[in-house]
């Protein structure tokens, strides 16, 4: 029995250390499917998603989902620490480490207490190992505990710096593509300034590359919600893909080359993140851009002086481009409970910068809006 406990405890300690190294330190995607962190998020997301489906209010649903990312990260760190404490406790118990203390027993609870005080380097001194092997294990555990705590202290700022970089660019998209962003609104607001559109697409190519690097290394960031309910990293990424696809199909005077580069980078990010969450591609249901909506899209842009390519060939090209990314963003959106953006905004909408908790304004005059209070984006 004690031999099995020794093997189990050693495997538990090494497994947790490997998992923490791959999750926190290793700056690349781990392809191995059997990983503790991956299993942990699968197990915790299932009940969380089940509860989300029972929440009818979109505001309460987003508030609830906003807690999942940070809480799951803290819970994962706690599970790692508890696993290491009990792993070292089982190792001491199975090897029969003798402890110097008054009436010290050799129960597992005593070793668990000793392991906890050693791992967190408390140094109470009421229990101390007397044999050389026990002392070596205690020193090793203290070193692992000190390194683990230092790793956490360095890990959390990296996570939140990546989150802040992501959200800053999403907030900038508010005045550039609406809230939520849409391809039609992005092109309508930049159609008369081709140079500005070129700069915007270049910036979003860089943003997609940063998103790919940071979210592949730290997938927990995908669970972090944006400040406003009508904004998210997947919504912004999809809107940029939509706009890039329209420019690639044909837009008078538009930067086609930059649109191709942005589309390639954004599509790369979507496909790799879909693989991380194991969401197989499927066609979006319902269709995001039926023929009637495509006609409306062209009419909205034409009214703003933006001319898109028309005809069967253009429609076929747009359909081919959509099939390159929509089957990946749709299951990701369903899995993370993130609504995908429409191609054309609603007839009556306000950007987030035009709203406040006291009302919605357009220019300097207060304006009415058909949106319900449930959809209000300010506190």
Write out pLDDT tens, residues 223-276.
999 988 889 999 999 999 999 999 999 888 888 999 999 999 999 999 999 999
Task: List, for residues 35-60, the tens digit of each pLDDT value.
Answer: 889 899 999 999 999 999 999 888 89
Q: Give the count of domains, the chain.
A: 2
CB atoms within 10 A of CB 181: 27
Task: List, for residues 165-188, the tens digit of each pLDDT value.
Answer: 999 999 999 999 998 999 999 999
| Same domain, yes or no: 12 and 127 | yes
Report yes or no on 235 lying in a domain.
yes
Please name the residue ranges forming H helices in the chain: 2-20, 36-52, 58-95, 108-119, 132-172, 174-177, 183-190, 194-217, 233-250, 256-276, 291-303, 312-336
| Same domain, yes or no: 98 and 186 | no
Nearest CA to 283 out of 343, 215, 340 is that of 340
| Same domain, yes or no: 34 and 96 | yes
Report yes or no on 19 lying in a domain.
yes
Q: In whole angstroms, what is the distance from residue 32 CA to residue 51 CA? A: 29
| Same domain, yes or no: 320 and 273 | yes
| Same domain, yes or no: 146 and 183 | no
Tracing tokens 């990296």 back to the chain, one arrives at 158
Q: In what order do the strands lie in the sheet with 359-362?
A: 355-356, 359-362, 365-366
Nearest CA to 246 out of 208, 203, 288 is that of 288
Q: Whole domain around residue 111: which residue ranges?
A: 2-154
Q: In whole angstroms, what is the distance from residue 301 CA to residue 344 CA? A: 10
Report yes or no on 81 lying in a domain.
yes
Is 366 in a helix, a strand, or coil?
strand
Q: In whole angstroms, what is the distance from residue 131 CA to residue 231 CA? A: 59
Report yes or no on 46 lying in a domain.
yes
Maximum Cα–Cα distance across the chain: 89
At 378, the pLDDT band (50, 70, 90 cuts) reads: low
pLDDT at 108: 86
Nearest CA to 238 out of 154, 371, 336 is that of 336
Tracing tokens 């609104």 back to the chain, one arrives at 185
Report yes or no on 369 lying in a domain.
no
Q: Say what the pTM is.
A: 0.88
| Same domain, yes or no: 181 and 150 | no
Last residue of a domain, one of 154, 181, 197: 154
pLDDT at 151: 87
CA atoms within 13 A on the CB side of 137: 30
Report yes or no on 335 lying in a domain.
yes
| Same domain, yes or no: 55 and 199 | no
| Same domain, yes or no: 177 and 323 | yes
| Same domain, yes or no: 118 and 177 | no
Residue 42: give its domain's CATH number. Answer: 1.10.287.70
| Same domain, yes or no: 150 and 177 | no
Report yes or no on 166 lying in a domain.
no
| Same domain, yes or no: 340 and 214 | yes
| Same domain, yes or no: 85 and 225 | no
Report yes or no on 379 lying in a domain.
no
Task: List, for residues 273-319, the tens digit of each pLDDT value.
Answer: 999 999 999 988 889 999 999 999 999 999 988 899 888 999 999 99
């Amino acid at each position: 029995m004690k031999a099995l406990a020794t093997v189990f405890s050693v495997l538990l300690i090494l497994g947790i250390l490997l998992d923490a190294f791959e999750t926190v330190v290793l700056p690349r995607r781990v392809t191995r499917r059997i990983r503790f962190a991956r299993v942990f998020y699968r197990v915790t997301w299932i009940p969380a998603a089940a509860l989300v489906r029972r929440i009818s209010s979109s505001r309460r649903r987003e508030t609830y989902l906003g807690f999942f990312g940070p809480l799951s990260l803290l819970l994962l760190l706690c599970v790692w620490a508890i696993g290491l404490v009990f792993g070292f406790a089982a190792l001491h118990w199975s090897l029969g480490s003798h402890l110097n203390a008054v009436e010290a027993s050799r129960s597992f609870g005593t070793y668990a207490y000793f392991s906890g005080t050693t791992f967190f380097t408390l140094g109470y001194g009421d229990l101390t190992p007397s044999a050389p092997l026990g002392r070596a294990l205690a020193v090793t555990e203290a070193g692992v505990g000190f390194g683990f705590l230092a790793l956490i202290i360095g890990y959390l700022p990296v996570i939140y710096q990546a989150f802040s970089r992501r959200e800053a660019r999403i907030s900038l998209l508010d005045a550039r593509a609406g809230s939520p962003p849409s391809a039609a609104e992005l092109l309508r607001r930049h159609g008369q300034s081709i140079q500005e559109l070129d700069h915007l697409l270049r910036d979003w190519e860089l943003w997609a590359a940063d998103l790919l690097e940071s979210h592949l290394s730290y997938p927990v960031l995908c669970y972090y919600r944006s400040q406003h309910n009508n904004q998210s990293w997947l919504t912004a990424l999809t809107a940029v893909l939509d706009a890039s696809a329209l420019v690639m199909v044909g837009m008078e005077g538009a930067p086609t080359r930059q649109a191709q580069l942005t589309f390639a980078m954004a599509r790369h990010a979507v496909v790799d993140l879909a693989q991380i969450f194991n969401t197989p591609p499927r066609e979006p249901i319902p269709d995001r851009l039926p023929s009637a909506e495509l006609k409306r899209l062209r009419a909205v842009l034409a009214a703003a002086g933006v001319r898109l390519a028309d005809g069967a060939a253009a429609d076929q090209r747009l359909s081919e481009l959509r099939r390159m990314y929509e089957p990946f963003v749709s299951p990701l959106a369903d899995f993370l409970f993130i609504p995908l953006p429409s191609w054309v905004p609603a007839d009556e909408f306000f950007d987030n910068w035009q709203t406040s908790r006291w009302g919605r304004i357009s220019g300097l005059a207060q304006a009415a809006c058909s949106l319900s209070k449930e959809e209000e984006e300010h506190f």
